[in-house]
Amino acid sequence: MGDVRGELSREKVLVIDFGGQYNQLVARRVRECNVYCEIYSYKTDLEKIKAMNPKGIILTGGPSSCYEEGAATYSPELFSLGVPVLGLCYGAQLMSHVLGGKVERASAREYGKTEVDVDVTSPLFANVTPHTTCWMSHFDYISKLAPGFRVVATTANCPVAAAECREKGLYAIQFHPEVLHTAEGSKMLYNFVRNVCGCAGTWRMDSFVENTVREIREKVGDGKVLLALSGGVDSSVAAGLLSRAIGKQLTCVFVDHGLLRKNEGDEVESVFGEGGQFDLNFIRVNAQQRYYVKLAGVTEPERKRKIIGEEFIRVFEEEAKKIGAVDFLAQGTIYPDVVESGLGGESAVIKSHHNVGGLPDFVDFKEIIEPLRSLFKDEVRQAGLELGIPEKLVFRQPFPGPGLGVRIIGDVTAEKVRIVQDADAIYREEVDKAAAAYKKEYGKDAPWLPNQYFAALTNMRSVGVMGDERTYDYAIALRAVQTVDFMTAECSCLPWDVLQTTMSRIINEVRGVNRVLYDISSKPPGTIEFE
Ligand code: XMP
């Protein structure tokens, strides 16, 4: 929904991405200062940048060396638009290089937490402690300042940890204020966007909801909108927004594929269905048996995923046919999807189609509507709370599209689904209880608190004894991981008593299980899910 950005972007900062690993983090930190920002590739044309009328520009880090042939660069004109520019790491070096300073390779890489002395008379460092900690990660360094610049921060090994040309509103920081290891980094970014750029800080989720609701109404008119609701955070928040904007013009189709967590289908229905708090048409399709038939005897993980995805499209298509032509197909695409699929370019559309498994080919609609397209995940959650979506749903753990299908190793049956649902419910209940008790006692989250935790059904059966009876039952595997980005993960050190209570309850309460294993693998080499 391009017009959503148009409306809200009166006060906008642009983050120009030079390929650094923290580009999205920079944008999130800026938004935490209540300033809207968008990420664009360094290949973006200067005219386009100008047309967006930014209040400020931030250049990110990147892997290149700015003095090398073919390195990522930008036209010097960028620095004379009269718009404040902040260069970070590579961005700082590039700014110096382009404006006539010198950047060279240092004899040793500076990496990790580093003590830094900052000049608190610089607007960038207002209210920052003069001697603080920053996060450094660089080989190259600024060996000579560009004309008009002065040094405003130094470390033991870095003569120009930050520099400024205040008259022109140009600032360069060699370290990474966006990373939490930089103790006062958020303050520095706040100083730049709010004080140097003069942004008023109007980006807030309550106004986002209000504005987006208005824009959806304008765009949709009296048209009909169809949304595939999975019960996940993104589609739920999209449903909440659309419902507030257009009420019964919205129809949500919720496919219960029989691979959801225990009671989850009913929970989604109680929030969005008849008698729930939202005004919309809610269609629940109970396709459980259909899926179990399709999955019977299938053991190969990729094949299982494929069947689940294809069947979803078929079920959704059948429902869409019953509804007839609609004007809009809504999707819960969020900003990281847009960025990762090509920096807001054409390819963004391709990715969002992929998100729902190619739906647009099967459904009769005129246009796609993506009301969350400009939001980061934490902002989606805040918007969800604004809309009154229950916390349980808003702060739901990540759950894969193929659901329990990838948490049951081997073939899927209704009986196995029941086993893993029951075991998983017990496990999550015990972890949640222990986490809440820790927080109550110590006033903070437990150090072992996992970001994702669930039970999976191994396909292994083994001999056990219960009472005086021999058993030959399944082993449940418990997984709990701590992760920042879900690309890598460590096993969480859950307290032994939590594991023991969980084990004892699962074996006593879940028929068909006689062993409980704890998966201590990290990722890599293990993935988070089992298939
Ligand atoms: P893996 O198993 O690849 O999982 O380490 C990383 C994260 O992604 C989630 N996941 C999925 N999410 N559709 C999704 O929407 C999927 O097919 C899928 N597979 C894995 C997983 O739960 C973890 O958070």
In this prediction, residue 338 carries a pLDDT of 85
Amino acid at residue number 273: G
Mutate to test the pocket of ligand 1, among 260, 352, 486 (most ligand atoms within 8 A of CB): 486
Q: Cβ contacts of residue 32 below 8 Å, gap of 6+?
A: 186
Q: pLDDT-based confidence at 488, cuts 50/70/90?
A: confident
The yes-or-no verdict on residue 343 having pLDDT over 50 is: no
Ligand 1, atom 11: closest residue by C-alpha:
400
Active-site pick, 89, 158, 197, 252? 89
The yes-or-no verdict on residue 498 having pLDDT over 80 is: yes
| Ligand 1 pocket residue status of 486, Cβ below 6 Å | yes
Nearest to 271 by CA among 289, 287, 252: 252
Q: pLDDT-based confidence at 351, cuts 50/70/90?
A: very low
| Ligand 1 pocket residue status of 452, Cβ below 6 Å | yes
The two beta strands, 56-59 and 225-229, are unpaired
Quote the tokens at residue 7. Answer: 């409306």
Cis previous bond, 525, omega within 30: yes
To which residue do tokens 């902002």 refer? 379
To which residue do tokens 């044309």 refer? 45
In this prediction, residue 449 carries a pLDDT of 97
In this prediction, residue 362 carries a pLDDT of 67
In this prediction, residue 467 carries a pLDDT of 87
Interval between CA 529 and ligand 1 midpoint (Å): 6
| Ligand 1 pocket residue status of 410, Cβ below 6 Å | no
Interval between CA 510 and ligand 1 midpoint (Å): 26
In this prediction, residue 3 carries a pLDDT of 43
Interval between CA 387 and ligand 1 midpoint (Å): 27
Quote the tokens at residue 430. Answer: 């015990």
| Ligand 1 pocket residue status of 398, Cβ below 6 Å | yes
Q: Cβ contacts of residue 138 below 8 Å, gap of 6+?
A: 89, 93, 106, 109, 110, 111, 174
Active-site pick, 176, 197, 379, 491? 176
The yes-or-no verdict on residue 380 having pLDDT over 50 is: yes
| Ligand 1 pocket residue status of 529, Cβ below 6 Å | yes
In this prediction, residue 361 carries a pLDDT of 63
In this prediction, residue 359 carries a pLDDT of 54
Interval between CA 84 and ligand 1 midpoint (Å): 40
The yes-or-no verdict on residue 513 having pLDDT over 80 is: yes
Interval between CA 400 and ligand 1 midpoint (Å): 5
| Ligand 1 pocket residue status of 528, Cβ below 6 Å | yes
Active-site pick, 11, 38, 164, 178? 178
Nearest to 175 by CA among 190, 192, 193, 188: 188
| Ligand 1 pocket residue status of 377, Cβ below 6 Å | no
* Catalytic residue flag (residue 302): no
More confidently predicted of 21 and 134: 134
Ligand 1, atom 18: closest residue by C-alpha:
400
Which numbered atom of ligand 1 lies nearest the CA of 529? 2
* Catalytic residue flag (residue 178): yes
Interval between CA 406 and ligand 1 midpoint (Å): 9
Q: pLDDT-based confidence at 35, cuts 50/70/90?
A: very high
Mean pLDDT to the nearest integer, 416-441: 98
Q: For residue 472, what are the β-bridge partners?
A: 463
Q: pLDDT-based confidence at 364, cuts 50/70/90?
A: confident
Q: pLDDT-based confidence at 340, cuts 50/70/90?
A: confident
CA distance 466 to 468: 6
Interval between CA 486 and ligand 1 midpoint (Å): 8
CA distance 523 to 490: 6
- What number of CA atoms fall less than 13 Å from residue 392's CA on the CB side? 10
| Ligand 1 pocket residue status of 483, Cβ below 6 Å | no
* Angle 271-272-274 from CA coordinates, rounded to 5°: 100
In this prediction, residue 507 carries a pLDDT of 97
Amino acid at residue number 253: V
In this prediction, residue 346 carries a pLDDT of 32
CA distance 241 to 220: 13
CA distance 510 to 228: 33
Q: pLDDT-based confidence at 391, cuts 50/70/90?
A: very high
CA distance 293 to 311: 11
* Catalytic residue flag (residue 89): yes
| Ligand 1 pocket residue status of 306, Cβ below 6 Å | no
pTM of the model: 0.85
E-strand spans in 18-70? 36-41, 56-59
Mean pLDDT to the nearest integer, 301-321: 93
The H helix count followed by the E strand count for the chain is 16, 18
**For the segment 245-273, what is each residue's pLDDT rounded down to a tens digit?**
999 999 999 999 999 999 999 999 999 99
CA distance 26 to 36: 12
Which numbered atom of ligand 1 lies nearest the CA of 527? 5
| Ligand 1 pocket residue status of 451, Cβ below 6 Å | no
Which numbered atom of ligand 1 lies nearest the CA of 402? 17
In this prediction, residue 161 carries a pLDDT of 97
The average confidence (pLDDT) of the chain is: 92
Interval between CA 279 and ligand 1 midpoint (Å): 31
